[in-house]
Amino acid sequence: MNQDLPDIPLVHARGLARVAEWLLDAVCVAALALLSGITSVDVVGRYVFNAPLQGAYESSELLLAVLVFAALPRVTWHRQHLAVGMIDGLLGHAGRRIQRVAVALVSALVLGALAYYLWLHAAQLASYGDMSNALQLPIAPFAYAAACLSALAALAALLGLFVHAPGAPVQQQAAAPAGQKG
């Protein structure tokens, strides 16, 4: 087993959440596959044939946005965001519970605000008819998708207060540093 990565089990939700995860996973896989293919074709074309793929940079930007925002609800639901626990060891059981509620509420609030402002920005892009430079793709649908996926992540953060997501880390007492008895 690879010791470089922590043991993170592959978990799936149940019911409607599982369907949403499957759809979001499919979007992420498609975005990654397209991103890999476009980058490979662009690099080979650029350095072997001196003919870069037209619009590769722009499509990579858009696909990366799709990838990040499609992964956001699932990562939020399973509480797998990158976190630094600076005070976890100092908190008791009640303190960790309060911390979990506070983090979920702040996360939901920030993600909700992000969704709201992305939606406003998408509406502005749509009203201008803003298009990408090289590929002439409308940008508003990407911004609307980012807003909807951010709203879904905000909902996942809120629901996480009431429903323990499968695979979400259960907070335990901090382990004693190496060489010390706990």
pLDDT, tens only, 92-131: 888 888 888 888 999 999 999 999 999 999 999 999 999 9
Residue 81: predicted pLDDT: 79
Structurally, the chain folds into a number of domains equal to: 1
The pLDDT assigned to 12 comes to: 59
Which has more confidence, 17 or 166?
Answer: 17
| Residue 160, phi then psi, degrees to nearest 5 | -60, -20
**Domain interval for residue 47:** 16-82+89-162
Q: Is residue 1 part of a domain?
A: no
State the pLDDT at residue 149.
98
Residue 3 located in a structural domain: no
Torsions phi, psi for 58 (to 5 deg): -65, -45
For 51-102, write each residue's pLDDT tens digit: 999 999 999 999 999 999 999 999 998 888 777 777 777 888 888 888 888 8
Residue 107 forms part of a structural domain: yes
Range with the poorest average pLDDT among 104-113, 116-125, 139-148, 172-181: 172-181
5 within some domain? no
CB 157 within 8 A of CB 76: yes
Please report whether residue 152 resides in a domain.
yes
Residue 4 lies in a domain: no
Residue 155 located in a structural domain: yes
Q: What is the pLDDT of residues 13-41, one digit of tens each?
A: 678 878 888 999 999 999 999 999 999 99
Cα–Cα distance measured from residue 33 to residue 54, given in angstroms and rounded to the nearest whole number: 18
Long-range pairs for 68-73: beta carbons < 8 A, 24 or more residues apart: 69/145, 69/146, 69/149, 69/150, 70/24, 70/27, 70/28, 70/31, 70/149, 71/24, 71/28, 72/111, 72/149, 72/150, 72/152, 72/153, 73/20, 73/24, 73/149, 73/152, 73/153, 73/155, 73/156
Binning pLDDT at 50, 70 and 90, where does residue 181 land? very low
Say what the pLDDT of residue 164 is: 63
Question: Whole-prediction pTM value?
Answer: 0.79
Tell me: pLDDT of 45 over 80: yes
The set of residues, in sequence order, having a beta carbon less than 8 Å from that of 67 and lying 6+ positions away, is: 28, 31, 32, 35
In a domain, 41, yes or no: yes
